[in-house]
Amino acid sequence: MSVCTWTKILNYIVYYIIVKSCGRFSDSDNRLMDEENRSLPASTESNALTSSTEQDHLPNFINNRDTAKLLGVGIRCEIENGRQLITLTVRWLDRSTEPQEIWKRINDAVTNHYTTSPSLHGMLICDGPCHGIIDYTKMMEYPDCGHKICKSCQFNALSVPNADGSPGCCVPTCVHQTLINRVPLDKYRRKAQERGTPFVGVKQSSTRISNIDKSSSSTRIVPTELLHVRILILEKIKSRIVREKLERELPSDYPLDFILSIIKERIGFLDGIKIYYTTKRSIRSKEDLVPISINFGEKKSLSSVSGSRSTLNFVVAKPGVHVFTND
């Protein structure tokens, strides 16, 4: 049986299911909806949504579903990369002003990721591959990186499992960095950071992966001391100072300029910022902060500023924020 025949049969099955679930089409109407956005009968368009199946097709930000009307349902079946792809298109109309205002705010939030606020009825943009607008109660925020991931991306996207076996953050930069952090030997971990790849110190053949360092053994793989690193980013919005906190666990022999990579990945730029640090567990006053200048290619490690402390705090002042009067 040809692919075209299978496509028509599958189209018919999907359409039949929709007809039965909606309950608004005549049982005698067996025509395939092979064009998108085919309009429903006029009697259907004049009625508000009452079927739970129809309501499931509406966006989550629609609060008053009695004012929304289903206009059309379209199905397109095609082959993509050797797989059957079914696209369901639903047209709906809501003439009230509230959905239009909410949709405008969502568009503004999508344009600038960091303007997304919980005021959008508790919906946030997923930092995972889907980049969807998801109910925040169905998302997980990873404390180490601050990324918010929906359940779909959490369990389906590529990630490195946490120590307890749960899925790690699936943002590519986090996956990449986690792999580098888990390179056991210090010299290989430094090379991994410099080259930007976690696969340093191993060579791959068609049969196995073996370590290049023949003298290394499991007795030599000693975990490097981990530092609890906090990064506080201060930003001035109108007359207020807004604080954002990032937390990481990093090896103490990590290069100091890695802090710049974290900051740039979060705020998108480094120009005009001022950085301060302290080894005190809690910052009680600005006198606890020590100004520091960090440049890419810095040879110093995190241990050079942390001393013997296990906690290292950095404060990043974005342009317009003055920690000291002489800044």
Average pLDDT over residues 66-77: 78
Domain end residue (candidates: 156, 186, 207): 156
At 303, list the tokens.
């241990």
Q: Which tens digits make up the pLDDT trace of 257-270?
A: 889 988 988 888 88
More confident residue, 146 or 107: 146
Q: Which tens digits make up the pLDDT trace of 78-108?
A: 887 777 888 877 777 877 777 777 777 766 6
Tell me: do 66 and 128 sit in the same domain.
Answer: no
CATH number at residue 270: 3.10.20.90
8 A C-beta contact, residue 116 and residue 136: no
Structural domains of the chain, count? 3
Tell me: do 39 and 122 sit in the same domain.
Answer: no
What is the predicted pLDDT for the residue at 47?
43
> Could you tell me the residue range of the domain that residue 122 belongs to?
113-156
Tell me: do 84 and 121 sit in the same domain.
Answer: no
Q: Which tens digits make up the pLDDT trace of 179-192?
A: 777 665 565 556 66
